[in-house]
A and B are shown apart, each in its own frame.
Chain A
Amino acid sequence: MSTRTLVSPLTLGRPRGRAVYWTVFGGVVVLFALAFLFPVYWMVTGAMKSPDEVTRTPPTLLPDHWHIGGYTDAWDLMDLPTHLWNTVVQATGAWLLQIVFCTAAAYALSKLKPAFGKVVLGGILATLMVPAQALVVPKYLTVADLPVLHTSLLNSPLGIWLPAVANAFNLYLLKRFFDQIPRDVLEAAEIDGAGKLRTLWSIVLPMSRPVLGVVSIFALVAVWQDFLWPLMVFSDTDKQPISVALVQLSQNIQLTVLIAAMVIASIPMVVMFLVFQRHIIAGISAGSTKG
């Protein structure tokens, strides 16, 4: 990219400009490494120190002896396999249901012209105005005692899955994308004898890969990172996701073991980020400029 920014290429080309540039560049690299990478480094290596060493002052930059034991202890003592599995189940289900129900609803609102479609869309968009956390208590009461059915979804993954479907942002994102698909394409499919479901499955969805990717990432990250809602839904320790379990167990566990558990809890999200970073960063940047 050669578009000019605040500082002109000419100024940068001069010896003095070049000196300033490399100084600033070096400074920013060091600053970013210290501010954002170092805490992560400290966490990963802290878990490998001995319990004495981790509380020693002044602290050691490198562990005296590398203990892998912190990680294995965390895995066993804190029952991480169970909690990680719970998180995976909760996140996967929420993602799957969101993809199925939100795409179906977005497709209907965008292409099937239901009566009162505008009213329905308005009702969905209105929920964007209501901050999610402010409704967390009445939502809890609803989940604890579903109207009509009078069953409780507490301590059940359904308590995470179903409310996750009511995601106006993702639904609107999908609807906006479907709106751009020309009607001719769908009509052509219909003339060839495809039903609505078939059209959605074989024409619309394959065309929507980019937006489905974005929605998928949003959905997975949201459930994995959430804390307050699963804290309310799962009082049963065995059913808790990793985020809730970490906080509950943090009180009476050795520091090195807790730190190791924190690292393990972060790995899936960080790995996903490193794999999909291009898409994630592009998604954030693009979403913003459109408002």
Chain B
Amino acid sequence: MKTASKPPAVLPPAAVGAPEAPRSAGRRTGGPWRRRLADQFRAYGFLAGGLLCFALFSWYPAIRAVEIAFQKYTPGSGGEWVGTANFTRVFHDPEFTAAWRNTLTFTLLALLIGFAVPFVMALVLNELRHAKAFFRVVVYLPVMIPPVVSALLWKWFYDPGAGLANEVLRALHLPTSNWSNGADTALVSLVIVATWANLGGTVLIYLAALQSIPGELYEAAELDGASLLQRIRHVTIPQTRFIILMLMLLQIIATMQVFTEPFVITGGGPEDKTVTVLYLIYKYAFLYNDFGGACALSVMLLVLLSAFSALYLRLTRSEEDA
């Protein structure tokens, strides 16, 4: 603590009178440097608990992830350096390609479905003048239902026999689907669950953004003869562009870490059509007991997602400065 022991250029008035006061007189009368040191101790006393938790459960695991990615590691017996062997092994696992393809497809589908839908919902809700509170509560209700419950609920809906999803199709005289059990439909079925469970938050954020658009802009556009769609295109979208971009980045980061839905609903199947990267990490660690492979995969996911996070933080910061 160099800065703490450095004597101050100007002595604070309280310290001038009694620089050599005995300790028993209390900390207020201690020397200026001693007081500063005491201040530092106190500040770090307040920080200690939080810092220790960050060090143990955030910083240290981040370093360990990189370290173990290059080790053959089994819990309890330490690690043995193996160079890039974990990466090549993981890379040649057929599930590796499947997991990345599924994760990227999931993210893309989630953007297509889970992005347009909440925006349109918010757009419509913003025009409605009645029962606002009802809409806001109802749309957010699925978000408050535990994700495990939503997943189990939809697993039941997707049941090929007595599932509600096929009942609805039958009632509408449409062909039924295998939903989460079909190789072609499983991933889309999971995206629908994730969208249903999470879109409430997105809708509310959009709604707040839409409410901050000045009414004069619409007024002026309408006077210029802009139609409804033109007003959306030239006023609404440009005015909410920043929020749209932010939410898109956040959604990419969130959906690339999808785990609960495939784990609970499909168990990664059929075949390997719904194995995601995080699911594969879980399998490497807890099924294959291959922590080196799990950490190698974690590092890959980490690098990719940190790039998106960095972009997100950069954009929000530049917006704050502007």
Q: Chain A: residues with CB nearer than 8 A to chain B?
A: 3-8, 21, 24-25, 28-29, 32-33, 35-37, 39-40, 42-43, 46, 54-59, 97, 100-102, 104-109, 112-115, 117, 120, 123-124, 127-147, 162-163, 165-166, 168, 171, 196, 200, 221, 224-225, 227-228, 232, 242-244, 246-247, 250, 255, 258-259, 262, 265-266, 269-270, 272-274, 277, 280-281, 284-286, 288-291
Select one of B40, B76, B162, B215 contacting A4, CB under 8 A: B215
Within 8 A of A (CB), among B161-205: 161-162, 164, 167, 170-171, 196, 201, 204-205
In the complex, 15 of the A-B residue pairs with CB atoms within 8 angstroms, ordered by the A residue number, are A6-B235, A105-B47, A112-B39, A123-B59, A130-B58, A130-B305, A131-B306, A133-B278, A136-B281, A142-B57, A165-B49, A168-B54, A225-B146, A269-B146, A291-B319
Inside 8 A of A265's CB, which chain B residues have their CB? Answer: 146, 148-149
Q: How far is the CB of B115 from chain A (nearest CB, A)?
A: 15
Q: A137-B294, A291-B316 are in contact. Are A56 and B162 (CB under 8 A)?
A: yes
A57 to B56, CA, bound (A): 54
The answer to whether B58 touches A127, judged by C-beta atoms less than 8 angstroms apart, is yes
Question: Most B CB atoms within 10 A — which of A36, A123, A196?
Answer: A36
Q: B208 interface residue, CB < 8 Å from A?
A: yes
Q: B110 interface residue, CB < 8 Å from A?
A: no
Question: Most A CB atoms within 10 A — which of B65, B73, B228?
Answer: B65
A131 to B139, CA, bound (A): 26
The answer to whether A5 touches B218, judged by C-beta atoms less than 8 angstroms apart, is yes
Q: How far is the CB of A276 from chain B (nearest CB, A)?
A: 10
- Given A108-B47, A112-B39, 20 additional A-B pairs, CB 8 A: A5-B215, A6-B231, A8-B218, A28-B135, A100-B49, A101-B49, A107-B46, A115-B43, A131-B309, A135-B62, A137-B295, A139-B57, A141-B75, A142-B60, A165-B54, A227-B148, A243-B147, A262-B152, A265-B146, A273-B144
Q: How far is the CB of B275 from chain A (nearest CB, A)?
A: 15
Inside 8 A of A137's CB, which chain B residues have their CB? Answer: 65, 281, 285, 291, 294-295, 298
The answer to whether A114 touches B207, judged by C-beta atoms less than 8 angstroms apart, is no
Inside 8 A of B316's CB, which chain A residues have their CB? Answer: 291
A171 to B50, CA, bound (A): 9
Chain A binding surface, main DSSP class = helix
A272 to B260, CA, bound (A): 23
Inside 8 A of A250's CB, which chain B residues have their CB? Answer: 152, 264
A109 to B138, CA, bound (A): 39
Q: B10 interface residue, CB < 8 Å from A?
A: no
The answer to whether B46 touches A104, judged by C-beta atoms less than 8 angstroms apart, is yes
Q: Chain B: residues with CB nearer than 8 A to chain A?
A: 1, 3-4, 39-40, 42-44, 46-47, 49-51, 53-54, 56-62, 64-65, 68, 73, 75-76, 123-131, 134-142, 144-149, 152-153, 156-157, 161-162, 164, 167, 170-171, 196, 201, 204-205, 207-215, 218-219, 222, 228, 231-232, 235-236, 242-243, 246, 253, 256-257, 259-260, 263-264, 278, 281-282, 285-286, 291, 294-295, 298, 301-302, 305-306, 309-310, 313, 316, 319-320
Q: How far is the CB of B176 from chain A (nearest CB, A)?
A: 11
The answer to whether B49 touches A128, judged by C-beta atoms less than 8 angstroms apart, is no
Q: How far is the CB of A77 from chain B (nearest CB, A)?
A: 16
A225 to B8, CA, bound (A): 51
A109 to B43, CA, bound (A): 8
The answer to whether A112 touches B46, judged by C-beta atoms less than 8 angstroms apart, is yes
Inside 8 A of B44's CB, which chain A residues have their CB? Answer: 108, 114
The answer to whether B53 touches A134, judged by C-beta atoms less than 8 angstroms apart, is no
The answer to whether A228 touches B302, judged by C-beta atoms less than 8 angstroms apart, is no
A242 to B49, CA, bound (A): 28
Inside 8 A of B218's CB, which chain A residues have their CB? Answer: 4-6, 8
> Which residue of chain B has its CB nearest to the CB of A42?
B164
Q: How far is the CB of A137 from chain B (nearest CB, A)?
A: 5
A255 to B162, CA, bound (A): 11
Q: How far is the CB of B91 from chain A (nearest CB, A)?
A: 18
